[in-house]
Structure 1
Amino acid sequence: MALVKEYDAIVIGAGHNGLVCANYLARSGLKVAVLEQRKVIGGAAVTEEFAPGFRASIFSYMMSLLHPRVIRDFELMSKYGLKLLQSSDMISPLGGDDYILFSDDVQKTVASFAKFNKKDAETYPLFDKYLVEATKIVRQLLWETPFDPTRGDWKSMKASLSFLWRYRKVGHKMYRLIDLLTMSAYDFLKEWFEDERIIAVLAYYASIGHFLGPKSPGSAYVIMHHVMGEHDGAGGWGFVEGGMGKITQALAAYGRDHGVEIVTDAAIAEIRIEGNRATSVVTKDGAVYKAKTIVSNANAKIVYQKLIRPGLVPDELKREIDNYRTFSTAFKMNVACERPPQFTFLEKMRADKVLGNFDYPTYMHVAPDVDFLEKAYDDAKYGWYSSRPFVSPICPTILDKTLAPEGKHVVNLYGGHAPYELRGSDWSKEKDNFKKNIFDTIEEFAPGWSNDIIDLQFLVPPDIEEKLMMPQGHIFHGELTPDQLFFQRPASGYADYRTPFAGLYTCGSSNHPGGGVSGIPGSNAAREILLDLKRG
């Protein structure tokens, strides 16, 4: 006989947003179960062994966006052991002993830029002020529930007017957001800077995780998305001791202490809809979990295309979800090594003493100019992997000694482009060839590193999709372009974490405000669920 259990609320998926949502619901007194398809919890925020004695943040790799409110509300640092480690400033090698530095410290960035272009260095403080002011507005918007501006009912009109009133003092700064949402990263930055190497430092962020180049319209916004973190480090980026899995382990510990039941190996077969209401969740092994409130942390494409019976999803919503873009070109490689890459600039960098107590940069970008970034995108645009991919070498073991045997290191390589689908071939045939391109690119700046490799794990988009049920392996659960933000994420009319079905909600990163380990989609969804329950 099939298992049947009842709860007040069921959350599908034990990724960080699912756990955040579950924790807020449980804290409000609801009996909550979280169902996770994998043997391990955490979604993309997990720490696992990938080679004997070596552990890594397998998918997500640095902490930037996890909101201080989430950390505080769930006592992640004060009670549940979360420990943050400050990254070094970001260094980008330019060839030979040349390098460029990007720091939260404006004057350090100015000093670095001045070596290449004094006018750009003088301009940078004004640019930083401009971007910070725009970022402050967007940080407020992160916590908003997107409303539908096309609805004429009183509730929707009230939400629209309330939103406009809250942001009435933004004034002329709203044009900055319009520029960021519509311009290419290159055009936006070219209004401020002359030197292509300096522009590349910031344009790099527009390419991370997206099927875009720095000259693609709308790519400017992605710069801000990546520097929106509120923690110490270049652009607010840092590490978690023990890897990103420590975040989800701490969230789960809080949840269990507040009555949340977490069930692993619970792959979902169906969300049952009866009379236009979600009533239960059925797992692939036949177990039935009933609840008046069902929340999915899975990508919206999974929810509407795979978990709800065909024919129940309204035609217009189905069309929008089918066209919601998740095509990924990002790769991730976790490398066990004797030592991190020995870049040719290291001796000069150490002599310059620009990294303070750091003897080696924990965070780097390999892309010396804008053309390098754009050419990497050009290859992918025509269905092939980059001949010279841009790469972020990240070395957490400079700080975190829990991830590797003594004297050894873990280096995470993240970059692009590696299209989900290849034109005229497939990844089973081309993975080794692309791996060679990655190492060839790094060894242009750090010769001989291949000799220090002990083992590695190499993930291209189909691998990420398979392991995480993340459509096409997109790390942000969908492109962060104007047509897939706020009102329209994941679809117009359903951006408020609700669905066409009573009692069914979505809380993952395919909702506003998008991807990254922030916890904000899960928090916003929980707020709307509790409002609906209060209304009865």
Structure 2
Amino acid sequence: MRGRTAEAEFDVVVLGGGHNGLVAAAYLGKAGLRTALVEARETLGGPCGAYEFLPGRRLSFTNSPGSLDPAVVAELDLAGFGLRFVPADPTVVQRYDDGYFLGWRDQARVERQLDAFAPGEGARYRRLVDDLERLGRTLGVSLAEPSPSLAELARRLRTPEDERLFTSVFLRGLTELLDDYLVADETKALLTMLALNAHLVPPSAPGTAVGLMMRPFALASRARLSADDPGRVALRGSTGLPVGSMSAIVDALERCCRSHGVHIRTGSPVTDVVHAAGRVRGVAVAGGDVLSADRVVAAVSPVHLFRDLLDDEALGPEVRRAVASRRIRGSAFKVLLEVDGLPPYADLPEGVSQTQAATCQFRLGGSPAGIERSIHDALAGIPSQKPLMWGLIPTITSPHLTPGDTHLISVNAWHAPYDLREGDWESETDKFGRRCVDELSRLMPGLADRIVDHRFMGPVEIERELGLVESNITHGDMLPGDLFATRPHPEIAGYRTPLRGFYLSGSGTWPGGYVTGIPGRNASRAVLSDALNERKH
């Protein structure tokens, strides 16, 4: 093995201890395979794991409640390993320059709010959601299987209406789709933030509406749901908030892995994937040790994997170059504030308590045109003057995260470009962070006076600390050409690769980023299916 000494022998080694790596390892260990998980950082979970932003203040980077796949929770019995959710209602509060949107579980309340933006908007919104769900059923895309190609999806269309909607979602821009259905800028801004989230792609660009299809695909992948099932809520957050911040998901997965005998090794950067005669043989870690195995699951950024850990012989120089050279455009920025008390939200609608509003996720965003301008500025290397933000106050549901009466406000801001036109992030981080605080003060007047400590993390630091290439939280764009039978490359888009025993997982595989656990589950199923077939033969 290239002159190295094998340290241990396993059936499978999982490379990368983010949430998808942990999910894959848990399934493999549960199935009885001798499984090892190797993580470069000293802690598990990546952006979803606990990170010490301030002394003694540990919580996750990510703020995406409600996205963890129910099948993962049930099949791994994560509740039995301590994972609990608080189902907030409303699930989201979005602040505009003038007014709010609240994502109630009661869809009639949602539609009444939309009608207040523009008469009839509730019905128009419902028609859009219904059409997207119908398209999801027509296309028959399963999140639990490798994705079909765009050509195959086109062959599944049956009616002119199917073709019209497919063209609108997959080939035209999000702006055009929303203009076709909706009138109010507030509703369009709500769905623009939902569809694009972390992407540094303007809503006018072709294919940007596909982000709205992830929930319809998820619904179509599951058994039929009743009309009042929480899973039918069109907006994210329906599962609830994990008690202990999003890092509680990682804590439960770690306990699950250990209960099934998974050997977890942190602080061990992998230096290369070892292979010979067309078969993977394990992974080499810093210091020269090799963890040998006939199967390896790589749950790390494909760019990092193909650039730094694989040689040309593993999968061929063409594939390696194509994946390693992919442009990863990111713009994530982190704001963590500790405050001596929660400032009240400004001008809440009648009948909404401060506690209700503070318990769920909050968002701040401008008009669709403002979002378009902000993204174009970021693509030109100019930080947004009005950052889009998604945030949580995790100490509402998890008061143990801080002592005494202080609270933590955890915010992910966007359109802070990794590559700046002028200056660098060492000098710009504080400036952009304070701009975020100013914007947050539109939601929470008096916020700045209550801050007792803070941490701002620019995109360069996020890349260094969390391994997110160019601060892109989804390991690359999630447009149609980046998702369907192409993620991360057409020849290796189905978790398996031509190198026998070598599998891909993580956010850089189908169905992409966010804290779903689906890529980890799917990769583990591919491993177990192949292992069973090999035993039969």
With the length of structure 2 as denominator, give the TM-score of the two structures: 0.89
Closer, same or farther in 2 for the Cα pair 1:345/1:119, shift >3 Å? same
Deviation at 1:51, TM superposition (A): 2.4
CA distance in 2, matches of 1:489, 1:355: 44
Whether contact under 8 Å (2:30, 2:260) holds in the other structure is yes
Deviation at 1:177, TM superposition (A): 4.3
Give the number of aligned pairs: 517
Match of 1:28 among 28, 31, 54: 31
Match of 1:41 among 38, 41, 44: 44
Task: Say yes or no: does 1:127 pair with 2:128.
Answer: yes
CA distance in 1, matches of 2:48, 2:487: 22
| Match runs of 1:306-385 below 5 Å | 306-310=308-312, 312-346=314-348, 349=349, 352-354=350-352, 358=356, 360=358, 362-385=360-383
- The secondary structure found in structure 2 opposite 1:500 is coil
Whether contact under 8 Å (1:362, 1:398) holds in the other structure is no
Whether contact under 8 Å (2:475, 2:507) holds in the other structure is yes
| Match runs of 1:95-106 below 5 Å | 95=97, 98-106=99-107
Match of 1:286 among 279, 285, 288: 288
Q: Deviations over 1:48-79 (max 9, x none)?
A: 3422453322x2123222111111111101x1
Match of 2:416 in 1: 418
Match of 1:262 in 2: 264
Task: Say yes or no: does 1:93 pair with 2:109.
Answer: no
Match of 2:212 in 1: 223
Match of 1:156 in 2: none
Q: Deviations over 1:484-512 (max 9, x none)?
A: 10210000111011223111111111010
Whether contact under 8 Å (1:46, 1:243) holds in the other structure is no
Deviation at 1:243, TM superposition (A): 1.4
Segment of structure 1 superposing worse, 487-496 or 414-423: 414-423
Q: Deviations over 1:446-465 (max 9, x none)?
A: 33311111212222222222
Closer, same or farther in 2 for the Cα pair 1:434/1:188, shift >3 Å? same
With the length of structure 1 as denominator, give the TM-score of the two structures: 0.89
Deviation at 1:279, TM superposition (A): 0.9
CA distance in 1, matches of 2:343, 2:172: 35
Match of 2:169 in 1: 180
- The secondary structure found in structure 1 opposite 2:454 is strand
Deviation at 1:468, TM superposition (A): 2.4
CA distance in 1, matches of 2:328, 2:247: 24
Match of 2:531 in 1: 533
CA distance in 2, matches of 1:444, 1:168: 46
CA distance in 2, matches of 1:281, 1:54: 34
Task: Say yes or no: does 1:195 pair with 2:197.
Answer: no
Closer, same or farther in 2 for the Cα pair 1:176/1:144, shift >3 Å? farther
Closer, same or farther in 2 for the Cα pair 1:226/1:392, shift >3 Å? farther
Match of 1:153 in 2: none
Closer, same or farther in 2 for the Cα pair 1:36/1:359, shift >3 Å? closer
CA distance in 1, matches of 2:273, 2:163: 41
Match of 2:298 in 1: 296
CA distance in 1, matches of 2:231, 2:58: 24
Match of 1:438 among 436, 439, 455: 436
Match of 1:407 in 2: 405
Closer, same or farther in 2 for the Cα pair 1:95/1:472, shift >3 Å? closer
Closer, same or farther in 2 for the Cα pair 1:532/1:187, shift >3 Å? same
Whether contact under 8 Å (1:385, 1:418) holds in the other structure is yes
Match of 2:226 in 1: none
CA distance in 1, matches of 2:178, 2:12: 46
Match of 1:155 in 2: none
Deviation at 1:278, TM superposition (A): 1.4
Deviation at 1:126, TM superposition (A): 2.0
Whether contact under 8 Å (2:23, 2:521) holds in the other structure is yes
Whether contact under 8 Å (2:392, 2:410) holds in the other structure is yes
Segment of structure 1 superposing worse, 305-314 or 15-24: 305-314
CA distance in 2, matches of 1:361, 1:29: 40
Deviation at 1:412, TM superposition (A): 1.3
Deviation at 1:222, TM superposition (A): 1.8
Deviation at 1:4, TM superposition (A): 1.5
Q: Deviations over 1:301-321 (max 9, x none)?
A: 122110113565423313421
CA RMSD of aligned residues (A): 2.8
Match of 2:58 among 49, 55, 59: 55
- The secondary structure found in structure 2 opposite 1:410 is strand
Match of 2:70 in 1: 68
Deviation at 1:341, TM superposition (A): 4.7
Match of 1:205 among 194, 199, 202: 194
Letter in 2 for 1:424: E
Percent of aligned positions that are identical: 28
Deviation at 1:338, TM superposition (A): 2.1
Deviation at 1:136, TM superposition (A): 5.5
- The secondary structure found in structure 2 opposite 1:100 is strand
Closer, same or farther in 2 for the Cα pair 1:515/1:401, shift >3 Å? same
